[in-house]
Chain A
Amino acid sequence: MRDVLYLAWRYLVYNRLKTVILVTSITLIIYLPVGLNVVVEQSGEHLTARAEATPLLVGAKGSPLELALNSLYFSLDFPELTDYSEVTAITDSELATAIPLYVRFRSRSQPIVGTSLDYFEFRDFEFASGRPMAVLGECVVGAVAAETLGVGIGDAVTSSPETVFNLAGVYPLRMKVAGVLAKTYTSDDEAIFVDVKTAWIIQGLGHGHQDLASPDAAASVLDRSDDNIVANAALVQYNEITADNADTFHFHGDLSGYPLTAVVAVPDDEKSGVILRGRYADEDANSQIVRPVTVIDELLDTILTIQQFIVAAVIIVGLATVATAALVFMLSLRLRRREIDTMLKIGGSRPRVASMLLAEVAIVIVLSAMLASVITLLTWRFGPGIIESFVLA
């Protein structure tokens, strides 16, 4: 057996290009359905676990999937905006804890999640270092976000402008890192958490500026009357909240009208959840309430259907590949007629020569299976993260 395998191996090594092509083709044929299944199943488990951990989401009427993806996985696209009055309404109902979410802005590639401390308790966060944000302008960084941005306690992250040309809109806010979370192996690892009011400041709904009554702001004053001062665009607005200027930061208007992307509702019990859902059942309401589990299940059903089509296609391609490989093998035998005759002529036993030829096939299949297994293992280990980043990008 050892000699048979040795001769087969030497043949494959000598004809390495052919071997690589065969191994690659068969590996793909084995891996594609298996790997796809692993990815889909794992992603499904991952997505489902995240969805199951989030009882209810309230948002503006629109796509439930967009609402769920943005709220659970902090996707780039954000849904129609709701407002803070939804948080107050849910809190006043005494049916659930309302956790605001404003997931709209980014710091480079990392999502900035405007929320409240309740989110930390809800997700049972633990800190690798530091503490929760205490004052506006502070942030807490997920484990992966910290690595990606290369930041730690005391460093700063800066929000990215929404568009290059919207100079009067979202402007960069420098935020101090107060804490770094321990790894959760969820999308929370990628996030930068801020108080929702900090997110509003990023948007420009809240701001801090020079005291217009002070002499330092004289250059910014356009007009002054007895009871009103009009400032021009030269007014210095702060892009970082510090101990010195924190008192100048303020919001205008009623905060209940300030925007959110979603509200996480954590019902006190199942009955409260049912009652709460009933309150949003009105078709004409401007808001919707979704159970993330339902949304993700529907998404997974769609993915499963697509997967089945892909697997069917792969099987067909696989059969074609196997047939082609068999043809290559038979042609190769024909080309190797003389070599086989030589071995037989000098006394090689027929079974052993045949075994050698079959061993070449077997080694290719075993190598392919092993390679497919390794790639499948790697897929199992890293696949869901890669898939999520594709889905959410």
Chain B
Amino acid sequence: MIALARPLTIAAILMLLVACSSDERAPASDAEKWAMPGVYAVNYPLAYFAERIGADSVEVAFPAPADVDPAMWVPAVDTIAGYQGADLVLLNGAGYAAWVQRVTLSQSRLVDTSAEFAERLIPVENDLTHSHGPAGDHSHGGTAFTTWLDAGFAIEHASAVLNALSRLQPENATDYRDRFDGLEQQLLSLDQALKDIASRIGDQPLLFSHPVYQYLERRYALNGHSLHWEPGVMPDERQWRELSGILAKHAAAWMIWEGRPHPEARDRLESLGVRSVVFRPAGNRPETGDFMSVMHENLQALQQAFPTSP
């Protein structure tokens, strides 16, 4: 009888083990939650617009270090994690922040703030194309991306931010609209002031230290030529020779810099009859002030360079 009981017992244990095997999932880990929706931006202007419109209702983050150009910045993995956890990620569009194409973000939370005017973006051709394989020539050039320097586009960026925030928090839509209206008024005033200066500039040739003023140039019909000179860096002789060649055909009296020029460069430019004026694109957060104060400083610099006729 023991021989009979043994296989029965084994069978019963087997059945019990299988029946009792757990399908329980591992316990959920606690996720960090912000007190209010988190909004990440890829550049300072967008962060500024979000701060102006969202005010205390959103947490705005723009984690690029102060000393880098956000357009070229590549965030570290833990910073990318911050973008991944955001409720909204404000993209500039126009190929700004190419790193966005090489990271993984929730598509549903991305807001391309230039989508509405994508067809009006300014293409930029690279100097060099290359081809390999059957696809033929292709270029690694793209689109000019300092779109906010066109005040009209800046308003459209801000409008996209407004719409995104309103969808995120419909209960605050009215407040957001009110704040946007205030911001829009300021941008319109800025736009008008720039138009006034542009009318005084007319079609006189200008130089730009870097090809970052395409939208400014187009909006305000400026006659500019871009170099590749770094603020704070003395250009080399090749660059001075290149400038001489350009001046022969484009006799500019002013160079617009994105940052303070190297004093020697400024002086040598002046010896060539070219004076310097700084117009900060404000792609990154300024050391002092904010986007609007930087734009007003830019405005003042231009007004000083191109004063009202006496």
- Complex: A in contact with B (CB within 8 Å): yes
Interface positions of A (Cβ within 8 A of B): 2, 5-6, 9, 13, 87, 91, 97-100, 116-118, 121, 126-128, 131-136, 138, 168, 182-185, 195, 197, 209, 212-213, 220, 227-233, 235, 241, 246-247, 249-252, 370-371, 373-374, 377-378, 380-381
CA distance A13 to B104 in the complex (A): 65
Known: A247-B74, A374-B18. 17 other contacts (CB 8 A): A126-B28, A126-B29, A134-B84, A134-B103, A135-B104, A136-B102, A136-B104, A213-B128, A228-B129, A228-B130, A229-B129, A230-B132, A235-B132, A246-B102, A370-B11, A374-B14, A374-B15
Residue of A with least CB distance to B19: A377
Whether B80 is near chain A, meaning CB under 8 Å from some CB there, is yes
Using an 8 Å CB-CB cutoff, how does the interface string of B1-25 with A read, 1 for contact, 0 for none? 1011000100100110011010101
Choose from B11, B21, B102, B135 the contact partner of A381 (Cβ within 8 Å): B21
CA distance A132 to B131 in the complex (A): 34
B84 in contact with A117 (CB, 8 Å): yes
Residue of A with least CB distance to B12: A370
Residue of B with least CB distance to A134: B80
6 closest cross-chain pairs (CB), A and B: A231-B132, A117-B106, A195-B104, A134-B80, A229-B130, A182-B26
Residue of A with least CB distance to B2: A6
B19 in contact with A230 (CB, 8 Å): no
Q: Provided the pairs A228-B129, A228-B131, A231-B130 are in contact, do residues A138 and B108 lie with their beta carbons within 8 angstroms? A: no
Contacts of A128 in B (CB 8 A): 26
CA distance A131 to B84 in the complex (A): 11
A117 in contact with B129 (CB, 8 Å): no
Contacts of B80 in A (CB 8 A): 134-135
Whether B238 is near chain A, meaning CB under 8 Å from some CB there, is no
A374 in contact with B11 (CB, 8 Å): yes
CA distance A134 to B83 in the complex (A): 10
CA distance A374 to B14 in the complex (A): 7
B102 in contact with A97 (CB, 8 Å): no
Choose from B4, B29, B101, B104 the contact partner of A251 (Cβ within 8 Å): B101
CB distance from A333 to the nearest CB of B (A): 22
Task: Pick the most buried of A98, A220, A228, A380: most chain B CB atoms within 10 A of its CB.
Answer: A228
B107 in contact with A98 (CB, 8 Å): yes
Contacts of B193 in A (CB 8 A): none
Residue of A with least CB distance to B140: A250
CA distance A128 to B29 in the complex (A): 9
A209 in contact with B29 (CB, 8 Å): no
Task: Pick the most buried of A6, A128, A227, A241: most chain B CB atoms within 10 A of its CB.
Answer: A227
CA distance A178 to B74 in the complex (A): 18
Contacts of B132 in A (CB 8 A): 209, 212, 220, 230-233, 235
Whether B105 is near chain A, meaning CB under 8 Å from some CB there, is yes
Whether B138 is near chain A, meaning CB under 8 Å from some CB there, is yes
Contacts of B107 in A (CB 8 A): 87, 91, 98-100, 116-118
CA distance A212 to B139 in the complex (A): 12
B127 in contact with A5 (CB, 8 Å): no
Q: Provided the pairs A97-B108, A127-B29, A183-B26 are in contact, do residues A13 and B3 lie with their beta carbons within 8 angstroms? A: yes
CB distance from A18 to the nearest CB of B (A): 17
Residue of A with least CB distance to B23: A185
Contacts of B101 in A (CB 8 A): 197, 250-251
CA distance A232 to B133 in the complex (A): 7
Contacts of B19 in A (CB 8 A): 377
Q: Provided the pairs A2-B1, A132-B84, A249-B102 are in contact, do residues A377 and B130 lie with their beta carbons within 8 angstroms? A: no
Whether B137 is near chain A, meaning CB under 8 Å from some CB there, is yes
CB distance from A114 to the nearest CB of B (A): 10
Choose from B8, B102, B130 the contact partner of A212 (Cβ within 8 Å): B130
Residue of B with least CB distance to A266: B108
Return 22 A-B CB contacts under 8 Å, by A number: A6-B4, A9-B3, A91-B108, A97-B108, A116-B106, A118-B106, A121-B106, A132-B81, A133-B104, A134-B81, A135-B104, A136-B104, A185-B25, A197-B101, A220-B132, A227-B128, A229-B129, A231-B130, A232-B132, A233-B132, A250-B140, A377-B18
Contacts of B74 in A (CB 8 A): 246-247
CA distance A5 to B106 in the complex (A): 68
Contacts of B137 in A (CB 8 A): 228
A5 in contact with B4 (CB, 8 Å): yes
CA distance A241 to B277 in the complex (A): 42
CA distance A212 to B8 in the complex (A): 75
CB distance from A15 to the nearest CB of B (A): 15
Q: Provided the pairs A5-B1, A9-B3 are in contact, do residues A134 and B77 lie with their beta carbons within 8 angstroms? A: yes
CA distance A381 to B17 in the complex (A): 11
Task: Pick the most buried of A5, A127, A229, A233: most chain B CB atoms within 10 A of its CB.
Answer: A229
B131 in contact with A231 (CB, 8 Å): yes
CA distance A126 to B102 in the complex (A): 24
CA distance A233 to B133 in the complex (A): 7
CA distance A251 to B138 in the complex (A): 10
CB distance from A230 to the nearest CB of B (A): 5
Contacts of A233 in B (CB 8 A): 132
Contacts of A134 in B (CB 8 A): 77, 80-81, 84, 103-104
CA distance A191 to B290 in the complex (A): 47
A135 in contact with B102 (CB, 8 Å): yes
CA distance A252 to B139 in the complex (A): 9
CA distance A151 to B128 in the complex (A): 42
CA distance A223 to B146 in the complex (A): 35
Contacts of B3 in A (CB 8 A): 9, 13
CA distance A247 to B127 in the complex (A): 18
Q: Provided the pairs A121-B106, A246-B102, A374-B11 are in contact, do residues A230 and B131 lie with their beta carbons within 8 angstroms? A: yes
Contacts of A127 in B (CB 8 A): 29
Contacts of A132 in B (CB 8 A): 81, 84, 104
Contacts of A241 in B (CB 8 A): 102
CA distance A134 to B29 in the complex (A): 20
CB distance from B19 to the nearest CB of A (A): 6
Contacts of B133 in A (CB 8 A): 168
CA distance A131 to B104 in the complex (A): 12
Contacts of A209 in B (CB 8 A): 132
A117 in contact with B77 (CB, 8 Å): no
Contacts of A135 in B (CB 8 A): 77, 80, 102-104
Task: Pick the most buried of A87, A126, A251: most chain B CB atoms within 10 A of its CB.
Answer: A126
In B254-278, the 8 Å CB interface with A consists of none
